[in-house]
Structure 1
Amino acid sequence: MQVEDIKVFIPSLDYDKSISFYNQLGFNCDYVTDDLTLCKNGECYFFIQRFYNQQLAENLMLQICVSDIQEAYALAQKSQYKTKLSEIQNEPWASVFYLWGPAGELLHITQLNNPQLQ
């Protein structure tokens, strides 16, 4: 099997709030159907779905690799729809902070020390 792409479907407790949250983080979100929105930034894409399951949402983790952790952190701080935000932590492999979205999903915002790991 040759995989050409993988996209995650992120649940939303409040569909419009989730779309606004990801817009504030720098994603362009485009209508697909009344229950599905495609969010993109550069060559990276994912879907927001008008579906919520608490157990799924609160166990969903998504790593988002960025080129500038400070810029990403500044955007995250400004978001009115985040539910929680950690400080930036420097790990041996990357700088990372944790951002919880409006449905409880956990985003690992990461600037890798070695971009070849992306």
Structure 2
Amino acid sequence: MNRSTSPETHLSSLASTINALRPFVPSRDFDTSKRFYLELGFTLAYDGEGIAELLFGRHSILLQDFYEPAHANNSMLQMVVGDLDAWWRHIDSLWLTERYALNAPIAPAMQPWGRRVAFLFDPSGVLWHISEAAPAAS
């Protein structure tokens, strides 16, 4: 940044260089968590020593072979989708609770902040907020 460039312009320029922003997701049992995410619909892009890159379309997470209960139980991810009901049918059809001994997914409901959200726990306790996209402004 030179002195004639505003901080906002500089940051905007830096933002345009970001290709991906991936959260690291902890796993109590690395293989079980990989299987869970693959069944959910992710694909495996990379599987290395203690880390796996899982893709869903153009989005991805980095599953790590690391588990700290306080960290995992306080980790949350939000996925904003165009058709929450379709996602819920997909999640419900997988019988995840019975097969992975995890907290039951919570069906879509309107939340106090004005969005419909379904909740899904992964095998390590990470909580996914699957949120309906905001309606387009009219």
- Aligned-partner SS, 1:38: strand
Distance 1:18 1:106 in 2: 13
Q: TM-score, normalised by structure 2?
A: 0.74
What are the ranges of 5 or more consecutive residues in structure 1 without an aligned counterpart? none
The one-letter amino acid of 1:21's match is: F
Matched length: 116
State the shift of 1:75 in Å: 2.5
State the shift of 1:87 in Å: 1.7
- Could you list the structure 1 runs, at least 4 aligned residues long, displaced by more than 6 angstroms after superposition: none
- Aligned-partner SS, 2:55: strand
**1:53 to 2:68 alignment:** yes
Q: 1:104 aligns with which of 114, 125, 131?
A: 125
Corresponding position of 1:44: 59
Q: Which is greater in Rg?
A: 2
State the shift of 1:114 in Å: 3.2
* Coordinate RMSD, CA, aligned: 2.0
Q: TM-score, normalised by structure 1?
A: 0.86
Corresponding position of 2:45: 30
Distance 2:135 2:106 in 1: 22
State the shift of 1:81 in Å: 2.7
The one-letter amino acid of 2:119's match is: Y
**1:90 to 2:110 alignment:** yes
State the shift of 1:99 in Å: 0.8
State the shift of 1:110 in Å: 1.0
Bigger proportion of residues as strand? 1
Task: State the Cα deviation string for residues 16-72 of structure 1 (Å, max 9, x = none).
Answer: 111111112211123331211111111111100011111110000000112221221
Give aligned-pair identity as a percent. 27
Distance 1:39 1:109 in 2: 17
